[in-house]
Each structure stands twice: as C-alpha cells, then as structure tokens.
Amino acid sequence: MIPSVLPTYSRAPLHFVKGEGSWLIEEDGRRFLDLGAGIAVNALGHAHPALVRALTDQAQKLWHVSNLYEIPQQQALADKLVAASFANTVFFTNSGTESCELAVKMARKYWYDKSQPEKTTIVAFEGSFHGRSSAGIAAAGSEKMTKGFGPLLPGFKHVPWGDHEALHAAIDDTVGAILIEPVQGEGGIRPLPDHCLKGLRALCDDKGILLILDEVQCGVARTGRLFAHEWAGVTPDIMMVAKGIGGGFPLGAVLATQEAASGMTAGTHGSTYGGNPLACAVGCAVMDIVTEPAFLEAVNARAGYLRQKLEGLVASHPDLFEGVRGLGLMLGLQCKIAPIDLVKAGYECGVITVPAADNVVRLLPPLTISEDEISEAVNRLDFAADAVREAMS
Ligand SMILES: Cc1ncc(COP(=O)(O)O)c(C=O)c1O
C-alpha cells in the first residue's frame, strides 16, 4: 500500500526533534553537527533567539492577512532588500521554485510589453537546478527531473556549463533572457568564475537581453557576500531568492530592477501566502543580522577555516577525495567514492552533509557555526572517511 506520505523522498532513518545553533538532536538523544542546514536554509542555525523572538512576537499579533491589504512587515522587508541590493522592487513567494515561476513570467512579460513577444526563449545551463515546478524543471531540463512530466513548458534552451561557444551560438532573436546560478548547488557546488559572470552580463548588455540569477541556494550571505554575484562586481536584472532569507520559515522573493519589472502591473501575478506577516517578520530579522558588516567578515573567516580543514581532510584521504571547491560556506568535497557513502557514514559519526551531482558532498553549515564546531565536524568527517574505507576493504 502506498504510504500515507507520498513516497517521493528517499529519507534517512533520522528523527530530529530539536535544533540548537549548529546542532540537530535526534529522538534518541544523539547530537549531530549540521553541515547541511536544511540545504542552505537554516542560515543562522537552529532556534536563533532573534528569529524565535521575531516569529513569536508576530504570532501573537497577526499570522496572515491577504495581499488585498497593506502588509507593513512585507514593506519593511522589501525596503531592506532594495536598500541592500541592485533591486528596485521585490515580490515575495514561499519557495525557490515559485521565485523561478515569477522570474520566467517577468522576463516574458517584459518583452511582450516591448512589442517583441517572440523573445520568449530563456537560455539556461546543464546541471542547473531551479526547483520542481513546471517552469523549474523545464528551465533545468535534465532527464532526471523532466522524464514522464511532459509536455514541458516550452521556451528553454540548454547549453553546457562553461561552454562559451555554445552559449553564443544559442543566442538568437527569440532569446529574451539568460538564467544561471552563480554557484550551482544541486549540480555539485560549481562556482561560475567571476570573469564568466562579467562576460554573461556583457553578453546580455550587448544583445539587449535580461540576466536572471538564481541565488536561491547561494544568496543571503552564503558565499561571504550578501549575494554571490557581488563577488564579480556585476548585477542582474532579475534575481531569485529563497532558502536562507527565511532562516527556516518558508519565504522566497524575486528582486528586480524597475526596468525588468515594468510589465508586472496590478493583476499580473499574485500569491495567497507570499509575503505574509509571519514570514516577513522573520525575513526582516534575518536581514538585520546578515547585513551587519561584521557578520559577512565572520562568514568569510569561518569559510577560510572550514576550507583549510577540508583541504587537510582531502590530504589525509587521497584515495577517497579529489579536492574541495566552492565559495564561502558553500563548499563541496569532490569524491572518488559515491558521495552517499560518505553522507551515510557521517550519520553514524554524528555529522550531517548533503550529496550533490558530479560526485560531490555538499557542506552548507549555518553561517553562524563556530571554529570549534568546524573542527569537531571535520574530525567526525575524518572518522566517517575511515569507516567508508573500512567498509570497502
Ligand atoms: C538554485 C536553486 N533554485 C531553486 C530551488 C528550488 O527551491 P524550493 O525547493 O524552495 O522550491 C533550489 C532548491 O534547492 C535551488 O537550490
């Protein structure tokens, strides 16, 4: 019989009942160092006091009100995001894939209103991930996500990651936008080099098309800048955000320039829950913390420390690991073994990591993780690596 929860996930047999900072506590009392952070969601760790306060204060006043009315918490969060980024305007969603839906709609409406309705094509990249909605899977295009779900939303072209010639060849008169993750997450923690992002911006400017960045996983201070594209010194026209912005409360956003958003007038888009008072109260608390200059400095220091520790781990287990890649606290261990074997061995050693494509184990700890916790987590990964080797022999 089919389980009462639709069986779309392969779940590990772990039942977490509590979270404290960088730690997850299992029903049986075991404590795990959480280097997954709900796949880059718990950016400030578990039960951060400022987020608990923001959520409970708001919960005592008003949980939900329709977007038919003014929502001051939403206004406050939009103002913070606009002040801290390239954007002039923000629409709030509940998830990354909803942000993808709007980014696609916004780009198409832009060209429709410019009397160039043929510019519906969006160029996206192989190995990318933009969520599981119809637009999200069509944008990513991989067989793994799309097989059996056709007919797919038309209007996407896919080019291999890093293939400049294929990219240029793909730009014809029907292309209205390029969509890319500055650091591929699910694809295996593949950062786009700064010069490539600069080149993409220049290409978009040259062809007069829109640049859409998906910062759902790499945004909100994850890479050591508030948004990952800041490292390259260029800005997008439209950006998708989710995960870290809610610190664990479902919240997403699409940020855009006034020009790119010009087609999105009253009645063109909406959401029942998007930007609700609870989500935005938490989002404001997250933004207040991650925009403190000292916060980003600390993320960069922790990132350097974690990277150095991981390089040491790789050096100690050259038979299991190829190297470390990534940016900030979005790091990947390139494996010579199946990533899931290390992830499972990590469970036994009390450390949580996340597998990704391209033989990578992802490390996306809370941005607040301490150096002692990093040392302890890497010690546990060291034990996990020994266990994997033992199991293979
Ligand atoms: C880059 C990227 N875009 C979009 C999504 C989809 O986000 P959600 O699962 O919140 O719909 C994800 C989720 O992992 C992601 O990593």
Other beta carbons within 10 angstroms of residue 263's beta carbon come to 17
- For a ligand 1 pocket test, name from 95, 99, 129 the mutation site with the most ligand atoms within 8 angstroms of its C-beta: 129
User: How many other C-beta atoms can be found within 10 angstroms of the C-beta atom of residue 230?
Assistant: 17
Which amino acid residue places its CA nearest to atom 3 of ligand 1? Answer: 130
Token pair recorded at residue 316 = 């100690």
Residue whose CB lies within 8 A of the most ligand 1 atoms, among 41, 93, 130, 222, for a mutation test: 130
Q: Do residues 171 and 203 make contact, with C-beta atoms less than 8 angstroms apart?
A: yes
Q: What is the pLDDT of residues 74-110, one digit of tens each?
A: 999 999 999 999 999 999 999 999 999 999 999 999 9
CB of 285 closer than 8 Å to CB of 247? yes
Counting ligand 1 atoms within 8 A of each CB, the residue from 243, 254, 364 with the most, and so the one to mutate, is: 243
**76 neighbors 280 (Cβ within 8 angstroms):** yes
- pLDDT digits 0-9 by tens, 63-74: 999 999 999 999
Give the chain's end-to-end CA distance (angstroms, integer): 38
Contact by Cβ (8 Å): 120, 176: yes
In angstroms, what is the span from residue 39 Cα to ligand 1's centroid?
A: 9
CA of 83 to the centre of ligand 1 (A): 24
Tell me if 237 CB under 6 Å of ligand 1.
no
Q: How far is the CA of 317 from the centre of ligand 1 (A)?
A: 32
* CA 96 to ligand 1: nearest atom: 7
- DSSP 8-state symbol, 393: -
Q: Is 186 in the pocket of ligand 1 (CB under 6 A)?
A: yes
Q: What is the pLDDT of residue 293?
A: 86
Specify whether the CB–CB gap between 295 and 152 falls below 8 A: no
Q: Contacts by 304-311 with C-beta closer than 8 Å and gap 24+?
A: 305/371, 305/374, 306/331, 306/363, 306/365, 306/369, 306/374, 306/378, 307/331, 309/374, 309/375, 309/378, 310/363, 310/378
Output the pLDDT for position 87: 98
Per-residue pLDDT in tens (0 to 9) along the chain, 393 residues: 999 999 999 999 999 999 999 999 999 999 999 999 999 999 999 999 999 999 999 999 999 999 999 999 999 999 999 999 999 999 999 999 999 999 999 999 999 999 999 999 999 999 999 999 999 999 999 999 999 999 999 999 999 999 999 999 999 999 999 999 999 999 999 999 999 999 999 999 999 999 999 999 999 999 999 999 999 999 999 999 999 999 999 999 999 999 999 999 999 999 999 999 999 999 999 999 999 989 999 999 999 999 999 999 999 999 999 999 999 999 999 999 999 999 999 999 999 999 999 999 999 999 999 999 999 999 999 999 999 999 998
Ligand 1 closest atom vs CA 218:
1
Ligand 1 atom with least separation from CA of 250: 10
Nearest CA to ligand 1 atom 6: 131
**Strand locations in the chain, DSSP E?**
16-20, 23-26, 31-34, 89-93, 121-125, 156-159, 175-180, 183-184, 190-191, 210-214, 238-241, 252-256, 321-327, 330-335, 351-352, 354-356, 360-363
The answer to whether residues 163 and 157 touch, using CB atoms and an 8 Å cutoff, is no
CA of 91 to the centre of ligand 1 (A): 17
| Ligand 1 atom closest to 184 (CA) | 1
User: CB neighbours of 231 closer than 8 A, spacing ≥ 6?
Assistant: 182, 194, 223, 224, 225, 327
Q: Strand, coil or helix: what is 163?
A: coil
pLDDT at 148: 98
* pTM of the full structure: 0.98
How far is the CA of 174 from the CAs of 124, 125, 292, in angstroms? Answer: 14, 17, 42
Can you give the pLDDT at residue 42? Answer: 98
Closest-CA residue, ligand 1 atom 8, reads 96
